[in-house]
Amino acid sequence: MTNTEVVHDAAAEFMNRSTKTQKVQAVLHKFPWLSSAVVLIISVITFSFFNENFMTPNNLSLILQQVAIIGAVAAGQTIIIMTAGIDLSCGAIAIFASMVMAKTSFVNGWPAWASFTLGIIVGTGAGAFNGYLVTKVRLPPFIVTLGTLNIFLALTLFYATGRTIMDQELDPFYLKLGYLINIGQFKLTTGVLVMLLMYALLAFALRYTGWGRHVYAVGDDIEAARLAGIQVNRVLLSVYMTAGFIFSITAWIVIGRVAAASPNTGSTLNMDSITAVVIGGTSLFGGRGAVFGSLLGAVIVGVFRNGLSLAGVDLYYQTFAVGVLIIVAVSVDQWIRRAHK
């Protein structure tokens, strides 16, 4: 017995030898948002050298206000990407919901709570429709949401008849998320706080509930999850519906930020949210990532755009820099994954 144990230990040691790089890989593997946190800290420090106005409470508040919408959409996008899916229709759902809210309230004269509830139902229902096509009709999420992106877009334009509803026409309830709150020297909008609250709730659900584990398991290996007794389709449907709900809350944030409801905004929200999720360390292949990372991802993009423009860099170069960030983030993800194959 002792003899075999000795052999065993030697074998285990042989398998467990790891270099310094492998140790770094292992840490990043455990905390996927860590690399984006490092990027954020380095970029904030760097930009503060280029322009003294960067590191001011005013400017930092502005960045947070600017990323509120993308950050909120990215929260919903994250859980879908965690299941190895993707949602190209997220922006379209948000804008659709915002038009439903604004138009039923202004044109049909509904009370704010009723129009808001209908907007939430429409957004969540749109998510459920995506989920239905993914689980029951068994179409790839990319194709499903590419289709529904156009469908929801067309429905929005059709419903809104191309008209923007301005702030003086809106119920004051819809402008609430544009209000500024002073926290110390920082000026945050209520929309930012609502976004942060959504992240907190989502992070809790993913970390501490069975649903959260199931989301990871389904994204990780869908067949294994099914054999383990998880009702895979139900989990997927719930993820698309939750995302739809988050996108319709985002609709509220959008109206508050723009101080209007327009059918012509939000066309780049899908790509921007995917950018935030990817830079935040969530794997496009599913099963890996943290919702908190997507918030960091959204803030990083905001910091880059703001910092570069304060440094007097042309818009083209800002976009170029974001592109480089995406490539680097995905390369890091691949590198981490390889560590454990």
Residues that bind other proteins (CB under 8 A): 8, 11-12, 15, 29-30, 204, 208-211, 213-214, 216-217, 220-221, 223-231, 287-288, 340
State the minimum distance, in angstroms, from the CB of residue 289 to other proteins: 10
Closer residue to other proteins (CB): 90 or 332: 332
Closer Cβ to other proteins, 167 or 220, answer by number: 220
Q: Give the residue ranges of DSSP H helices in 17-140.
A: 20-30, 34-50, 57-82, 90-106, 112-135
Residue 103's nearest CA partner among 268, 263, 247, 245 is 263
Nearest 5°: the CA angle 249, 251, 254 is 120
Question: To the nearest whole angstrom, how small is the minimum distance from the Cβ of residue 335 to other proteins?
Answer: 15
- Which lies closer to other proteins via its Cβ, residue 20 or residue 340? 340
Question: Are the C-beta atoms of 253 and 235 separated by less than 8 Å?
Answer: no
- Closer to other proteins by Cβ: residue 11 or 197: 11
* Residue with Cβ nearer other proteins (112 or 330): 330
Residue 231 CB, shortest distance to other proteins, in Å, is 8
For residue 329 the two structure tokens come to 């983030």
Min dist. Cβ of residue 276 to other proteins (A): 21
- 302, containing H or E segment: helix 291-310
Helix runs in 161-189, H state only: 172-175
Q: How far is the CB of 126 from other proteins (least distance, A)?
A: 26
What is the CB-side half-sphere exposure of residue 14 using CA atoms within 13 A?
6
